[in-house]
Structure 1
Amino acid sequence: MSQPTAWFERKFAFPLSIEVYPSVVERLSSAADRLAEEVSSVGTSLMKKPQGRWSIKEHVGHLGDIEPLWLARVEDYVQGRQQLTPTDLQNKQTDEANHNASEITDLLERFRARRMLLLHRLETLHPRQITAMVEHPRMKLPMGIVDHLYFVAEHEDHHLAVIRAMRASPK
């Protein structure tokens, strides 16, 4: 399969075991480095928009755009909310951000800085917050924080796979 499945078509099975928490956090902590590595040798194709879809810069910008949502959802667990904070399913923020006008280094640094906020917050969680279950607003599935963080890691790996496919595409 050369192209990743569209994100909203992905299916997930939760809950995951609490034992995978350290591994998932490790994936999250390496995401900024993996993203930087993936775009390091792209060159001038950073702004190409295949079939009118997002450019590589826009994918990187989107990961920075959505990072505050992941942190807000961690707070949903901390506050004992019944449902996770919803997202804009149209990705309006990314579409309107004009990430192609930004330097790729700035987009990467923005993502890295926002990810550090999430990682620092995770360090402060109480064990009962890690085992709490909250409903995901789109999928209507109860998710523990391990499930949420796995979802986040899968989301960014999805974008990394899309970027890799874009790099490999001759167009």
Structure 2
Amino acid sequence: MIHEEMSTLLSGNDLSPEEYGEFYGRYIRKSIGENLFTRLKAGYRDVTEVLQSLDDEVALFKYAEGKWTIKETVGHMIDTERIMNFRALTFARGDTHPLPGFDQDDYVTAANFNQTPLDDLMQQYRGVRSATLQLFSSFDDEMLMSTGMASDSKFTVRALGFIIAGHEIHHLDIFNEKYLPKI
């Protein structure tokens, strides 16, 4: 078990592009340089702050045709974090089976997030973030550097943590730039 502040691997400053698929670099770049646990806790605060100011009607807003509603975006963030956690657990445990990718649009469509009360989505978000923090706290340095294949790319466990954090920052940026100014 790792203590949140003890591992130098958790700053991400030395993350190499060989630790994640090229597509995920945009999320990694948003999240490195800060302790992973600090970043995940800050992200939790930021998302909660945005969502608690909304109601169910407002959370059905989408800023353009063909874009997701706020509820769908939150649901997508939850699903993505769950998938990255599963990948991290799988690789940390030494499972070498390649894991498939997932089509985010198909997942959002199948989930019917717009019918889920925003409070329920927020509870799910809190639960998955708590699970993420607990899961990554359970990894030692060797586990953090474990690798596996997913979406036809190689990942380290620690890179998956920074992808979770950066993916959240990505969607917070979109909320702040494209959703919130219009509601």
* TM norm. shorter chain > 0.5: yes
Q: d(CA) in 1 for partners of 2:141 and 2:69?
A: 40
Aligned residues: 157
Q: Which residue in 1 is equivalent to 2:169?
A: 157
Give 1:122 shift.
1.5
Contact 1:64 1:110 in 2 (8 A): yes
Q: Which residue in 2 is equivalent to 1:75?
A: 89
Q: Say yes or no: does 1:34 pair with 2:46.
A: yes
State the AA in 1 paired with 2:83: L
Q: Where does structure 1 lack aligned partners over 5 or more consecutive residues?
A: 1-8
State the AA in 1 paired with 2:177: A
Aligned identity (percent) is 22
Q: Say yes or no: does 1:23 pair with 2:35.
A: yes
Q: d(CA) in 1 for partners of 2:38 and 2:52?
A: 22
Q: Which residue in 2 is equivalent to 1:120?
A: 134
**Structure 2 length as normaliser, TM-score?**
0.71
Q: Matched residue of 1:12: which SS?
A: helix
Q: Which residue in 2 is equivalent to 1:132?
A: 146
Give 1:125 shift.
1.4
Q: Where does structure 2 lack aligned partners over 5 or more consecutive residues?
A: 1-21
**Structure 1 length as normaliser, TM-score?**
0.75
**RMSD over aligned Cα atoms:** 2.9
Q: d(CA) in 1 for partners of 2:97 and 2:40?
A: 22
Q: d(CA) in 2 for partners of 1:48 and 1:130?
A: 38
Please give the residue correspondences for 1:40-119 in structure 2 after superposition, counting only pairs within 5 Å. 40-43=52-55, 44-49=57-62, 50-82=64-96, 85-119=99-133
Give 1:86 shift.
2.8
Q: d(CA) in 2 for partners of 1:11 and 1:96?
A: 24
Give 1:79 shift.
2.3
Q: Deviations over 1:33-88 (max 9, x none)?
A: 21111233345431023212100111111122223212211112222234663331
Question: Which consecutive segments of 4 or more residues in structure 1 shift more than 6 A?
Answer: none
